[in-house]
Structure 1
Amino acid sequence: MYNANTYLSATELLARFKATTLDPVDYLETVLATAHSQQSSVNCAAGIFADEARARARESSRRYRAGQARALEGVPVIIKEETAVEGWPRPMASLVFKDRIAAENHPIVDKLLEAGAIPYFQATNPEFCVLGHTWSKMYGVTGNPWSLAHSCGGSSGGSGAALAAGVAPLATGSDMAGSIRIPSSLCGVYGFKPPFGRLACTPTDEYFVQAVEGPMARTFDDLVLMQNVLAGPHPKSYTTLPYTPLPTTYGDLSGMRIAYSPAFGHPALAADVHRNLMQALDGLRSRGAVVEQVTLDWDLERINQVLLDGLRAIFVDEFMLDIPPTETDKLCSYVKFLHDKALDKKVSIMPSAILTQQLHREMQAKVWGQGYSAFVCATMLSTDLAADQDPVLEPMLKLDGHDVDAYLGWVLTPAFNLLNRYPVLAAPTGLSDIGVPTGMQIVANAYDDETVFRVASNHALAGTSRLFIDQFPPAA
């Protein structure tokens, strides 16, 4: 079984390190043991970099003794494989690029290192991060620590699974169609999709506004801690906004009006997902919020298709066409499918811009313009999803008697990648009937990050979902 000490929060670790009741060097060895042991079951490691981590842990220990500790001094951190760390492999889970090594750090990795964090665990993602589950020919299947046969989500599934497996308290993720929010919800952790411009992006990704990096953590307090380290300008980025750190404590929700739509009118929402969402909303009411249902009957199939076409137009197709024709047999089925689409038909970004404006105007008319400060919905329709589910071999799923597209039809996240200036925070809402966590999305108007954190803080305080306090995942 996993060592419960590996489930200490970053906030608690920092307090213990400062009090000298725990040493970063010793704690690193604890999580290293967990990191290696989980690989035979969960399989969420793309790489484990113990030697350089040990050197950083020794430096952190020295800094605590000298009174020079930084904001995340000595805290182990999980890094999604897609997120570049200088000198680490970065194949994007593809056998085509199996020998690629990152030449420089992603800006958020620079910020983690400057804050004294210890990146040591590289988490799996699907090939080129274009799947809502986490499996590839390179890394195999990553299971969900709560139920190994079920999906941990994607594309930041390795990060979510590693958090749930006790590998570290903090992780990086990225999100272009739900890739932070989906695994956060399925793995029972918190994740934040910031509005574009809040975090520095990879240089040359400045026009790829649907996709952002963001923090993932097991506790709300840790999510705030990590976001305050990651956010704000970086010398490599010219699009990042000035940043005022988020508060670390929040008042209750007295006077706040919150709107919700469980699944935008989709009939396939599972009863257990709905039940847990309603309990979470009752928790917000207990904290003083006025919570009311609004009608948003969105055409999710159209939203998904328009987002995918936009992603193809601005990034995916060009990337796919860079793959040598002699190498396409190495691609996973879901990437080969996108590769063939890139050859078959050109698409445009303009439908994304038009639909985004329509969605924002409806949100303005029914939510923001009606005095609601936040909006809440489920993250996905169901948790009953196989870890190795292949949307090419099985293009349709049967959910609650309804056929849905197996690629994106089961998630409720893509609209907010079109509405990419909206902050969205994924929070756990409990366990489904099959023992897999469920989650909700907390949304606010453009760049109003503090509101989603205030709502999430009160959700955490309401205690309607205390997964890592009440129990740990059963996987060993």
Structure 2
Amino acid sequence: MSVTVEWTARGMADAVRRRQISARELLDLHLARIAERNPELTAIVSLDEERARAGAWAADEHLAAGHPVGPLHGLPFAVKDTHDVAGWRTTYGSPLFADHVPDRDDLVVERIRRAGAVLMGKTNVPEFAAGSHTFNRVFGTTLNPVDATRSAGGSSGGAAAALASGMVPLAEGSDMGGSLRNPASFCGVVGMRPSLGRVPTWPAPNQWETTSVAGPMARTVGDVALLLSVLAGPDPRVPLALGDPGDAFAPPVIGSLPGLRVGWSADLGGLLRVDPAVRSVVEDAGRLLVGAGAQVYDDHPDLALGDDTFRTLRAWHFQASYGDLLREHPDGIKQSLADNIRAGESLTGADVAGAYSQRTALSETMRRFFERYDLLVLPTSQVPPFPADQEYPTEVDGETMPDYLAWMRSGYLISVTGCPAISVPAGHTPEGLPVGVQLVAAHGQDRRLLEIASAFEEVRRRSAVPPQETADVVEN
């Protein structure tokens, strides 16, 4: 059987190792798909075919010489445009950095290169990765491969759109308020925010600030695990990195659902305003879990402190990172981000200390919750993909959203807990738009979460029984 761009990354990597296809041939397949889809979608930016072809040739020569190869050997790869790649245009989605070329790789890029991937470009992002809709004044708007009138999500929207359309076999990104999970839900792929410390970030302006994490995206849970095996693991430059080696995620992920204790909630006890079409998919996911033998209870942790915690730490982080830039270029940063930066200027030390105290309390809340449950299930995003000409949803199920963050609560309330979370495709709206469900596990239980997600993925694929005909979620 011929290799196609729809194959899994694991299958492609195995085919390259077995010399069923060369890295050059595999690159040509993906470049052809990019030429076909990218002019409409704007998912891949700063494409450099010449450099990519040189990298693929070097990968083939390396294999032919009998040298050991890494787990991503020969796979075409595009890096999120907020992650520095030495010698490669990296704009952060900002016109202020439109011609910026870094002189060193970020740590995640170091690891991707070392694993044998063939770099070919970057993936589009919103300005400084702020917001869950991918548009900027450098490259334009990334559109949804399922419906090109809709948003691909963000901030890893270019990555998700590239994956869903077959332009890349794997993608990496970062997630502060849902930037790996939200675009995965919008584009019908899998996106994982790992536990705090699982994927170390270097360099960073503040190694002790842990709101944002890097993580993997793919079309299947198994491929997410493959990329996590490359990205994860300690580094002496990152003091908060977890000590577990990344190769713990390399073996195939196989899980089961019977007997699993699941806390399920469509709205976290009213904290989330959720579109009816999304709620319906999350309800179907709960019924599917019950039908697969899981013990599913209508229950959730109390995350009410999460809203103030996230907003305070986000504003503090953005002011520290971009405050000077905004003062130098008051018209050079989009308005919603500028407002968020300015919100950080009025914060006091007591405000920040209070946010960290609340974050500690949220961590304890989750620890106690996961003493009773193996898994938390909730919406990935509160809305399905919205029109691409909107900056953000101004209304959810009849309720006005006060700003560009409010519709992202289902993502950022989990972010501030430090727990690993993964978005897995779970259904569609009546119009056929993808909807993901968010699965959350206890901090450090990333491998277990992947196993559960893989089992859910398989049950959903194989189930011949419509979810509405299965048993109901247990009322707690």
TM-score computed with the length of structure 1 as normaliser:
0.89
* Residue aligning to 2:370: 368
Residues 327-406 of structure 1: pairs in structure 2 closer than 5 A: 327-343=329-345, 348-365=351-368, 367-370=369-372, 372-390=373-391, 397-406=394-403
The one-letter amino acid paired with 1:95 is P
RMSD: 2.4
Q: Deviations over 1:276-314 (max 9, x none)?
A: 223333333344321221045644xx633431221222x
* Residue aligning to 1:257: 261
Aligned residues of 2:44 and 2:78 also touching (Cα < 8 A): no
Instruction: Tell me whether 1:415 sits opposite 2:413 in the alignment.
Output: yes
* Structure 1 residue 11 displacement after superposition: 1.1
Distance (Å, rounded) in 1 between the aligned partners of 2:155 and 2:82: 9
Distance (Å, rounded) in 2 between the aligned partners of 1:49 and 1:270: 40
Distance (Å, rounded) in 2 between the aligned partners of 1:321 and 1:406: 20
Change (3 A) 1:332 1:465: farther
The one-letter amino acid paired with 1:368 is F
* Residue aligning to 2:460: 463
Secondary structure of residue in 1 paired with 2:307: helix
* Residue aligning to 1:311: 314
The one-letter amino acid paired with 1:89 is R
Aligned residues of 1:280 and 1:464 also touching (Cα < 8 A): no
Residues 32-431 of structure 1: pairs in structure 2 closer than 5 A: 32-67=31-66, 68-204=68-204, 205-244=206-245, 245-246=248-249, 247-266=251-270, 268-296=273-301, 298-299=303-304, 303-313=306-316, 315-323=317-325, 325=327, 327-343=329-345, 348-365=351-368, 367-370=369-372, 372-390=373-391, 397-411=394-408, 412-420=410-418, 422-431=419-428
Gaps of 5+ in 2: 464-476
The one-letter amino acid paired with 1:436 is L
Distance (Å, rounded) in 1 between the aligned partners of 2:314 and 2:327: 22
Q: Deviations over 1:361-405 (max 9, x none)?
A: 44344x3232x11111111111152223235xxxx7222222233
Change (3 A) 1:433 1:305: farther
The one-letter amino acid paired with 1:263 is D
Q: Deviations over 1:419-460 (max 9, x none)?
A: 12x111111112222322111111111211122111101011
Distance (Å, rounded) in 1 between the aligned partners of 2:330 and 2:36: 34
Aligned residues of 1:186 and 1:439 also touching (Cα < 8 A): yes
* Residue aligning to 1:21: 20
The one-letter amino acid paired with 2:287 is D
* Structure 1 residue 52 displacement after superposition: 2.0
Change (3 A) 1:21 1:295: closer
Distance (Å, rounded) in 2 between the aligned partners of 1:323 and 1:119: 30
Aligned residues of 2:152 and 2:385 also touching (Cα < 8 A): no
Secondary structure of residue in 2 paired with 1:385: coil
Change (3 A) 1:17 1:409: same
Change (3 A) 1:122 1:319: same
Secondary structure of residue in 1 paired with 2:376: strand
Distance (Å, rounded) in 2 between the aligned partners of 1:149 and 1:385: 8
The one-letter amino acid paired with 1:309 is T
Distance (Å, rounded) in 1 between the aligned partners of 2:281 and 2:165: 23
Aligned residues of 2:326 and 2:338 also touching (Cα < 8 A): no
Q: Deviations over 1:38-81 (max 9, x none)?
A: 23211122211222221221122223334433211101122100
* Structure 1 residue 134 displacement after superposition: 0.6
* Residue aligning to 1:469: none
Aligned residues of 1:192 and 1:214 also touching (Cα < 8 A): yes
Distance (Å, rounded) in 1 between the aligned partners of 2:363 and 2:344: 29
* Residue aligning to 2:466: none
The one-letter amino acid paired with 1:310 is L
Aligned residues of 1:304 and 1:408 also touching (Cα < 8 A): no
Secondary structure of residue in 1 paired with 2:394: strand
Change (3 A) 1:197 1:171: same
Q: Which has the higher contact order (CA 8 A, sep 6+)?
A: 1
Distance (Å, rounded) in 2 between the aligned partners of 1:225 and 1:376: 23
The one-letter amino acid paired with 1:256 is L
The one-letter amino acid paired with 1:255 is G
Secondary structure of residue in 2 paired with 1:427: strand
The one-letter amino acid paired with 1:360 is S
* Residue aligning to 2:473: none
Distance (Å, rounded) in 2 between the aligned partners of 1:187 and 1:451: 24
Change (3 A) 1:465 1:251: closer
Secondary structure of residue in 2 paired with 1:462: helix
* Structure 1 residue 184 displacement after superposition: 1.0
Aligned residues of 2:9 and 2:169 also touching (Cα < 8 A): yes
Secondary structure of residue in 1 paired with 2:148: strand
Secondary structure of residue in 1 paired with 2:192: strand
Change (3 A) 1:70 1:342: closer
Q: Which moved more, 1:224-233 or 1:261-270?
A: 261-270
Aligned residues of 2:282 and 2:437 also touching (Cα < 8 A): yes
Number of residue equivalences: 454
* Residue aligning to 1:470: none
Aligned residues of 1:107 and 1:236 also touching (Cα < 8 A): no
Gaps of 5+ in 1: 467-476
Q: Deviations over 1:181-211 (max 9, x none)?
A: 1111111111111112111212234122011
Distance (Å, rounded) in 1 between the aligned partners of 2:455 and 2:53: 37
Distance (Å, rounded) in 2 between the aligned partners of 1:66 and 1:253: 45
* Residue aligning to 1:472: none
* Structure 1 residue 116 displacement after superposition: 0.7
Q: Deviations over 1:307-344 (max 9, x none)?
A: 1221222x210222221645222222222323443456
